[in-house]
Chains A and B, each alone.
Chain A
């Protein structure tokens, strides 16, 4: 049932925008679900006004039964912004979707007023409008999800940076004790920061200790190896310590140069080896 060509929605929205906006704002303010603690009346009015505008323009040019086209880009961008900012403010996804749903009542009332005499046309128009608003409301929930996901990812990253500090064990020796499960992205971030630290502290030796890592998959092992290769290109050497038998197979299959690996050794053992390589020894302070 493609009635977009005959739809009067765009025209009605344009002609009666002020009244529709007034009705809509009023009903939102009267609703029990209003979060006056999160948004002022003026802000709410402004968001509503912007959405009505974007709706009008989208309905004018585009298909009402498909909001993925370029004519609906403005509406999608607006809803993305609204969804994001509401998520940050603490609105639930339902509350954000309700914002879109709440337009139905005032809009239907207006449609009934304008087309009421033609029952068939009114029915068609109501159908088009309700499915349009449903789609847009669903869009906001998707965006909400996405922005929460991004927030979580960002928080994970920050936590990651805090939990895997690169430590300077000695002048010229860095250590990176990795703890917990490694995923591809995390490994890359951590390895990049190790290389940056190598340059910053001018440390020719870095110990990557994976004692605290339960499993290392092929992808992560490859990142580790690429880091070792990159460090070498820069003029530094890496020692990987703390490899357990379970991880050993993965590493060997990737053709690791065993000179870079100090198997079964703890970070302390690796440090001793590092000192030796640098021609240093620890001696008791003379009496």
Chain B
């Protein structure tokens, strides 16, 4: 079980989203997340993966097992080379959507995670990182 190696998957189609969900679920189970924690992480991943495809023009997701002292967790990074987000604060607000979604993706993923970080540059792309700890 070589779980310590980071895993990167490409995100281009909605089947990729389904596959990512399954992968995240498997890893979360492996390191012993409870059911609610698993579900929150998988759901956050799903939201961010969709965003990457819908607004970022496709990209990739990286899954890494992380440790902090004695506790372990999962770190997911979603990156794309899309148009970028001009106003991140606005994008984090619930209900805001520049597309046809419900506008809950970014803010929702943030609420579902223990740590959340976003870096975005107009014209260059976006990178969102979330962490959930056991």
**CB <8 Å contact, A146 and B70:** yes
Query: What sequence of 0s and 1s flags, for each residue 139-157 of chain A, a beta carbon within 8 Å of any chain B beta carbon?
Result: 0000000100000000000
Contacts of A146 in B (CB 8 A): 70
**CB <8 Å contact, A192 and B70:** no
- In Å, the complex CA distance between A146 and B71 comes to 12
B36 contacts the other chain (Cβ, under 8 Å)?
yes
**CB <8 Å contact, A80 and B36:** no
Query: What sequence of 0s and 1s flags, for each residue 34-68 of chain B, a beta carbon within 8 Å of any chain A beta carbon?
Result: 00100000000000000000000000000000000
Question: Which residue of chain A is the closest to B34 with respect to CB atoms?
Answer: A192
- In Å, the complex CA distance between A192 and B38 comes to 14
Interface size on A, residues (CB 8 A): 3
Contacts of A192 in B (CB 8 A): 36
- In Å, the complex CA distance between A192 and B36 comes to 9
Question: Which residue of chain A is the closest to B70 with respect to CB atoms?
Answer: A146
In the complex, how many angstroms separate the beta carbon of A26 from the nearest chain B beta carbon? Answer: 34
Contacts of B36 in A (CB 8 A): 192
Question: Which residue of chain A is the closest to B69 with respect to CB atoms?
Answer: A146
- In Å, the complex CA distance between A118 and B70 comes to 42
- In Å, the complex CA distance between A80 and B36 comes to 29
In the complex, how many angstroms separate the beta carbon of B34 from the nearest chain A beta carbon? Answer: 9
Contacts of A80 in B (CB 8 A): 70
In the complex, how many angstroms separate the beta carbon of A270 from the nearest chain B beta carbon? Answer: 27
Contacts of B70 in A (CB 8 A): 80, 146
- In Å, the complex CA distance between A146 and B69 comes to 11
Question: Which residue of chain A is the closest to B35 with respect to CB atoms?
Answer: A192
In the complex, how many angstroms separate the beta carbon of B104 from the nearest chain A beta carbon? Answer: 15
Q: Which chain A residues numbered 139 to 188 have a C-beta less than 8 Å away from chain B?
A: 146
- In Å, the complex CA distance between A80 and B71 comes to 13
In the complex, how many angstroms separate the beta carbon of A207 from the nearest chain B beta carbon? Answer: 23
- In Å, the complex CA distance between A146 and B70 comes to 10
In the complex, how many angstroms separate the beta carbon of A150 from the nearest chain B beta carbon? Answer: 9
Query: What sequence of 0s and 1s flags, for each residue 75-117 of chain A, a beta carbon within 8 Å of any chain B beta carbon?
Result: 0000010000000000000000000000000000000000000
3 tightest Cβ-Cβ pairs between the two chains A and B:
A192-B36, A146-B70, A80-B70
What is A's interface to B at a CB cutoff of 8 Å?
80, 146, 192
* 3 pairs from A and B in contact (CB 8 Å cutoff): A80-B70, A146-B70, A192-B36
